[in-house]
Structure 1
Amino acid sequence: MPEAPLTISDRIQQKLEGLTRAERQLAHSILENYPASGLGPLTALAKDAEVSVPTVARMVQKLGFKGYPEFQAELREELRAKVKGPIAKHDTWADGAPEGHMLNRFTDAVIDNIRHTLGQIDPQAFDAACALVGDTGRHLYIVGGRVTHTLAEYLFLHMQVIRPRITHIQSTSNAWPHYLLDVTPDDVFVIYDVRRYENNTLKLAELAHAQGAKIILFTDQWRSPVHQLADICFSSRIVVPSAWDSAATTLLLTETMISAVQNLDWNNTRRRMEGLEEMFDQTKLFRKFT
């Protein structure tokens, strides 16, 4: 299966360390409102980033494009992909679907997504996110959307065992503003938001950010608008031969975070697990075969 093409965001991240000061300034400006940031005239992009027009031209070539028009064309394609609904996504892959069983094609796509995603993640940023999530001195809030609430619930269920002071907020609920009444600057929000980004999730993030809370975002390769507010952002590849996006890579990151956090204070985690098992035994929740 051919490799998924790099997004412009991917290219910028790969080149970031080798850019000049002005080029890095331009790169960060592009990423702030990506991928819509470069859709205007070249001079407008240069003005917004407070750099020269030649700086934009050099940067575009460093990213592998012949010129600004080619750069813009790629951005437009990414923007179209970003807003696709399920039917449009299905039509995109169905017309050119390669031969072979769906199990193989789907698995190849997921493996490719995982490889590209892990290649873009900074291990130090991941460790920092796990440290925030595992810090019992901070209240932890976990937020998901219409579809991603399943990932949020999965993380919440495990974190309930690992640590105290945790709240699951469903951003689609009309009651979620109540949860923000007690948010302090020491608190941490883990937010899931993938394309077809939800207005409720963005508003919740804005309010949490305004109250000084730390935000860890799990999003896709095009990045939710919440990324502008996030302290740490993990962008997963999500495209597969389906009408729906894949959660496999995001789940991988979530399960890795669970594993890392449980080991930060294993003695305490173990005590909580043992206490939970005792309650399971008392309630006879699970069948025993001995």
Structure 2
Amino acid sequence: MYEKEQSLDGPPLIRDLLKERQAELTAAERKLSAVLLDDSLVAGLQSITRLAEAAEVSTPTIIRLARKLGFDGFPDLQDAIREEVAARMKRPLAKLDLAAPGGDHIVARFTEAVAANINRTLDRLDLATFDATAALLSDPSRRLHLLGGRITRSNAHYFFNHLQIIRSGVTLLDSSPSVWPQALLDMGPEAVLVVFDIRRYERELEKLAGLAVAAGAQVVLFTDAWGSPIERHAAHVFRAMVEVPSSWDSTLAVNLLVEALVAEVQTRAAASSAERISALEDMIGASKIFRS
């Protein structure tokens, strides 16, 4: 679903290593791996004894898994987990040091960071995932549902605005979880749920994604370098770089992927989208909403 990721310019993420090495693991090690992945690695911050009890495996199993992942032992693995969890859960105030004044103007520093984010996002982009997602979103038999979190709601709205011009059957879900059960009634095997979720990840979105998959829908996820827990439910995943010299993460690399998908979906649905856009222009003219 995505190419091997790195945490900024550091070593591969533990989450990715666990997924990549599944075929090499014993049954007990896979059981331990599932416990770590199911709790976004947080379980790995416990003592080795408590982790062994939680996963119902032996402490030697934990040590063997750590070594298979390339670490000298559990302490080294735990240090890596601690760093990864800290980076993923970094709060806005904790990022203020990154925004401290430097020799260059903030505009220059911000632009440089965004350009790097875009380049690194594209370097890691799996084109097969992109093409499969474009085919899914351009299929007229599919009903599309879009939703974002507190920060990424605007990304979902932007994607919705474009898709609903190109094709029919596109819905922007209400941000209130209390109305999601009604939306789930329309999510069957022909439905696609497009979710945006970057750190700090939202449990409500993960719950919705799980329920949608249980109903037969496919999930397309846009997330950050560390990967939202929603990945376990997603058929297609896009990881984008989000770090900038600010208290907040940037979603400009996410929107680049969104706009590229809009262009490809419109190309794939050229005939029907042209008719739809033409009809929309006629309607706008008749309503005289905009000045000519």
Same structural fold, with TM-score higher than 0.5 when normalized by the shorter chain: yes
Deviation at 1:41?
6.1
Secondary structure of the residue aligned to 2:141 is: coil
The structure-2 alpha-carbon separation of the partners of 1:196 and 1:124, relative to structure 1 and needing over 3 Å to count, comes to same
Partners of 1:180 and 1:57 in 2: how far apart?
A: 40
Structure 2 stretches lacking a partner, 5+ long: 1-6
1:279 aligns with 2:288: no
Given that 1:141 and 1:190 are in contact with CA atoms closer than 8 Å, whether structure 2 keeps it comes out as yes
Once the two structures are aligned, what percentage of the paired residues are identical?
37
Instruction: Tell me which residue corresponds to 2:3.
Output: none
- Choose the corresponding residue for 2:206, options 176, 192, 202: 202
User: 1: distance between equivalents of 2:33 and 2:275?
Assistant: 45
CA 1:42 to 1:5, structure 2 compared with 1: closer, same or farther past 3 Å?
farther
Asked if 1:260 is matched to 2:227, the reply is no
| C-alpha separation in 1, matches of 2:10 and 2:234 | 23
- For 2:33 and 2:122, the matched residues in 1 are separated by 21
Contact 1:142 1:167 in 2 (8 A): yes
Partner of 2:249: 245
Q: Secondary structure at the match of 1:216?
A: strand
Q: Is the 8 A contact 1:156 1:168 kept in 2?
A: yes
* Structure 1 letter corresponding to 2:290: F
Specify whether residues 59 and 116 from structure 1 end up closer, same or farther in structure 2 by C-alpha distance, changes over 3 A only. Answer: farther
Would the aligned equivalents of 2:99 and 2:247 in 1 still touch at CA under 8 Å? no
Measure how far apart 1:37 and its partner are.
5.8
Give the 3 Å change call, closer, same or farther, for CA 52–77 of structure 1 in structure 2: closer
For residues 14 and 122 of structure 2, the distance between their equivalents in structure 1, rounded to whole angstroms, comes to 12
What value does the CA root-mean-square deviation take over the aligned residues? 3.2
8 A contact 2:66–2:72 mirrored in 1: no
Q: 1:55-94 to 2 correspondence within 5 Å?
A: 56-61=65-70, 68-91=74-97, 93-94=98-99
| Distance in structure 2 (CA, Å) of the matches to 1:268 and 1:237 | 34
Work out whether residues 225 and 239 of structure 2, in 8 Å CA contact, stay in contact via their aligned partners in 1. yes
Opposite residue 263 of structure 1, the aligned amino acid is T
Aligned position for 1:180: 184
Counterpart Cα distance in 2 of 1:102 and 1:71? 36
Bigger shift: residues 104-113 or 242-251 = 104-113
> Match for residue 116 of structure 1?
120
The one-letter amino acid paired with 2:134 is C
- In the aligned structure 1, how far is the partner of 2:33 from the partner of 2:132? 21
Tell me what 2:42 maps to. 36
1:202 Cα deviation (Å)?
Answer: 1.8
CA distance in 2, matches of 1:28, 1:160: 41
The residue aligned with 1:138 is 142
3-state SS of 1:182 partner: coil
Q: TM-score, normalised by structure 1?
A: 0.83
Report the 3-state secondary structure (helix = DSSP H, G, I; strand = E; otherwise coil) of the residue aligned with 1:258: helix
In 1: Cα distance, 2:125 partner to 2:167 partner: 25
**How many pairs does the alignment contain?**
279
How many Å apart are 1:71 and its aligned residue?
Answer: 3.5
1:53-76 deviation digits (Å, cap 9, x = unpaired): 675354333xxx565433322221
Mapped contact 2:62–2:74 kept (Cα < 8 A): no
Q: Distance in 1 between matches of 2:250 and 2:11?
A: 17
- Secondary structure of residue in 2 paired with 1:105: helix
Residue 259 of structure 1 aligns with an amino acid whose one-letter code is A
